[in-house]
Amino acid sequence: MNHSSNGPRRIVRVTGKRYRSPGSRTSFQNTGRGGARSGEGRPGRDRARSGSFSRTSPRKHVVNGIDISRLTQKAVITEQAEQYVPEHRFADFPVNELLQRNIHAKGYVTPTPIQDKTILHVLHGQDVVGIANTGTGKTAAFLIPLLEKVMKDKNGKVLIVVPTRELALQIHDEFKGFSPRTGLLAVTVIGGAPLGLQVRDLRHWHHFVIGTPGRIRDMIERKALDLSKFRTVVLDEADRMLDMGFIGEMRYLMGLMPKPRQTLFFSATISREIEGLIGEFLVNPVRISVKTQETSKNVDQGIIRTSGKDKIEVLAELLRSEGVDKALVFGRTKHGVEKLARVLQKHGFLAESIHGDKTLGQRKRALEAFKKHEAKILVATDVAARGLDIPNVTHVINYDMPATYEDYVHRIGRTGRAGKAGKAITFVE
């Protein structure tokens, strides 16, 4: 492989075969794609009982501009999520022995496709565009080689820019897992956390700064952060930052960084605007695509029609169904999410909530309770839909319809991860 920084643009695509397990079944009612007879899905046959959901109706039904037929898909239960044969093992990557021990201690043996295809390019100092669905392991794909880079040059500094505070904290946790005894330090700068403490932390020596665009800009304007010392930058979930209106902050931050620099750019989607940012920020990048489709084949998708029904009762009965082990329930508004969580608690469910009105500490505690299975249900606004790695979510329930299909894709990306099967259920009026 040519690792030179010159030459034509390179694109690395990763594909794999999927196999259907014999005899796989779903406990949900299937009507529509994957076995529907013509005529199914008419109003008289489209009643959804709690614990079951229907799949596509022949007639087009649009809610919030979303074609409901796109929310129904039979899962392909697979023996393995991807029959991908990696070119490397983690032990093959030319990184420091101490870092190798930390990687091994975390149980990392075989890299995911994006890790397999990205790490060597980052180690060679190249700019990289990673196009990947959520949950593909991209955090380790950039952290491992960047830790190696800074271990070789302790004066080196890395800026990691992300759209949400939760993702920043998650990356910091990953950093701490890979960095014991390396002497490398990271500072997280995010909204909702004490500003004075972050200013103090930035005054101490650090190697990595992980943060959200607005708070990073705030620190620069307060003279607490000088980007002229940073020659490496990661823009993670760049499409989400664009959606959230951070384009001005992104350009501001990149404009303050020195050249030449190494830029790593990760996005789940590629639009004309994203292509523009790639051309603006990166130099002759290697493109690595592991994005195979919009939604995971491991996720069984369907709808429950709630017109004329008590939505709370439908949800409660669904949550009591067999196999609903760990459910992420999405609502539209902060007030609605908080109210729904309290109602579920009154019904006897171990439920927590996260939304924008919660303090950072409250959100962290709710997420930890859900991750550790101290709470069976997490009710959330779309703040939880991107970037969070919550293990073993069995069900995503869209109690309120998402605003866009892209929001739907990112919501249901919380289940069916790491080759496991999951279910996504959307309530439709």
Per-residue pLDDT of the chain (429 residues), as tens digits, is: 444 344 444 455 454 433 333 333 333 333 333 333 333 333 333 333 334 444 433 344 666 667 666 676 655 433 333 456 889 999 999 999 999 999 999 999 999 999 999 999 999 999 999 998 767 889 999 999 999 999 999 899 999 999 988 899 999 999 999 999 999 999 999 988 889 999 999 999 999 999 999 999 999 999 999 999 999 999 999 988 988 889 999 999 999 999 999 999 999 888 899 999 999 999 999 999 886 555 567 788 888 998 889 999 999 999 999 889 999 999 999 999 999 999 999 999 999 999 888 888 888 899 899 988 899 999 999 876 566 678 889 999 999 998 887 788 878 888 887 667 889 999 988
Name the burial class of residue 86, with classes exposed (0-12), middle (13-18) and buried (19+) by CB atoms within 10 angstroms of its CB. middle
CA atoms of 62 and 70, how far apart (whole Å): 10
What residues contact residue 106 under an 8 Å CB cut-off, 6+ apart? 177, 178
Asked if 410 and 404 touch (Cβ cutoff 8 Å), the reply is no
**pLDDT recorded at residue 416:** 80
CA atoms of 277 and 248, how far apart (whole Å): 11
CA atoms of 195 and 1, how far apart (whole Å): 46
Asked if 360 and 387 touch (Cβ cutoff 8 Å), the reply is no
Fold of 83-289: Rossmann fold (3.40.50)
Q: Kind and range of the H or E element at 161?
A: strand 158-161
Fold of 43-80+294-428: Rossmann fold (3.40.50)
CA atoms of 80 and 186, how far apart (whole Å): 35
**pLDDT recorded at residue 6:** 42
**pLDDT recorded at residue 134:** 67
How far, in Å, are 336, 343, 387 from residue 319 at the CA level? 18, 13, 25
Amino acid identity, position 105: A
CA atoms of 391 and 372, how far apart (whole Å): 9
CA atoms of 294 and 177, how far apart (whole Å): 30
**pLDDT recorded at residue 54:** 47
CA atoms of 329 and 379, how far apart (whole Å): 5
- Structure tokens, 17: 């075969």
| Domain range list for the chain | 43-80+294-428, 83-289
Spell out where 74-149 has E strands.
Answer: 128-131
**pLDDT recorded at residue 70:** 66
